[in-house]
Amino acid sequence: MTLGFGHVGRVSVLVAVASALWAAGETAAESPEGDNAEVQRLADEDQEDRRAGPNIDWSVVKPRDDARLERIKELYKEGALRTGRDWLNAALILQHSNEADDYLLAHEMCVAALALGESRAKWLAAASEDRFLMAIGRKQRFGTQYVAADQTGAFRLADTDDDVSDELRKALGAPPLADAKARADQLK
């Protein structure tokens, strides 16, 4: 995403891919008692807006994303995030921002989710850190983000720190670096 944070057109497929990777095999189960139903609804709407994959109509989805971001920040400030699932769902919405500070907060929310036993937050913790690092002009660490390649419609793995071990990537639910690089060929 170094090719245009804030430019929705270039980010559209990347956001869809990241959301699909995070949600692969996950469905919204009935919220356990104590989860914030509004946060769950916002996360469900966020994911529903991304089901069109590369055919997302950003003129429709972007205003919805902005409204969800604003509401999640309000709920966060009100202390309405209580469970690991709440923290994970809030992080999912925040990482669809275009702001470095939102990516950092999403990462911190993933850490909170993990601390409360929500193991599904591992991959999003890696992805939100990668987005944050890229937003501040640094290489990603976990290989979760792809950027537009020179050819129209093609993607490549964004510059990635080679010093991060595949074991650490695996611990956070990210693929080995070689697999992440190979995946770019599938993103057309």
pLDDT in tens, 10-27: 343 344 444 444 444 343
Task: Please report whether residue 1 resides in a domain.
Answer: no
Task: Please report whether residue 126 resides in a domain.
Answer: yes
pLDDT for 32 equals: 55
Taking 50 as the threshold, does the pLDDT of residue 109 lie above it?
yes
More confident residue, 3 or 158: 158
Task: Please report whether residue 98 resides in a domain.
Answer: yes
Task: Please report whether residue 55 resides in a domain.
Answer: yes
pLDDT for 127 equals: 97
The pLDDT-based confidence of 151 (bands split at 50, 70, 90) is confident
Task: Please report whether residue 2 resides in a domain.
Answer: no
Domain of 126? 8-186
Task: Please report whether residue 150 resides in a domain.
Answer: yes
How far, in Å, CA of 81 to CA of 85, rounded?
Answer: 9
Task: At 81, list the tokens.
Answer: 């995030």
SS3 letters for the chain? CCCCCCCHHHHHHHHHHHHHHHHCCCCCCCCCCCCCHHHHHHHHHHHHHCCCHHHCCHHHHHHHHHHHHHHHHHHHHCCCCCCHHHHHHHHHHHCCCCCHHHHHHHHHHHHHHHHCCCCCHHHHHHHHHHHHHHHCCCCECCCCCEEECCCCCCEEECCECCCCCHHHHHHCCCCCHHHHHHHHHHCC
The pLDDT-based confidence of 28 (bands split at 50, 70, 90) is very low
Average pLDDT of every residue of the chain: 85
Residues with Cβ < 8 Å from 114, sequence gap 6 or more?
84, 121, 122, 125
pLDDT for 150 equals: 80
Taking 70 as the threshold, does the pLDDT of residue 131 lie above it?
yes
Domain count, the chain: 1
Check: pTM over 0.85? Answer yes or no. Answer: no
Taking 70 as the threshold, does the pLDDT of residue 114 lie above it?
yes
Q: Which of 48-62, 86-100, 137-151 has the highest mean pLDDT?
A: 86-100
Mean pLDDT of 119-148: 97
